[in-house]
Amino acid sequence: MKKRIPSKSSNFASLIEENAFYVDKTEYIKVLESINDKYLFFLRPRRFGKSLFLSTLEHYYGIQHKDKFESLFGEYFIGQPEIPHH
């Protein structure tokens, strides 16, 4: 099934539910969790995906979205089962 290219959407759940193209940035959630700083800043130019990434974090950490975890994150990095390293 073809995915459509979204236009000006910063809502993670809407993109996934509408089968829109999403570049998987969920591996950066693990990176953020490993940073031991009190504050994090997302310094990027306008239209660089800051709001979309914050929406991704909202849906990942928000307990109100836990029932949708598999449908939202199942095919992305953060939704994959851990693979043991040999």
pLDDT value for 86 = 39
Q: Is 20 helix (H, G, I), strand (E, B) or coil?
A: strand
| Total-model pTM | 0.81
For the stretch 6-44, pLDDT in tens is: 777 889 999 999 889 999 999 999 999 899 988 888 788
Q: Where are the domains of the chain?
A: 12-79
DSSP classification of residue 49: S
Q: Burial level of 73, CB count in 10 A (0-12/13-18/19+)?
A: buried
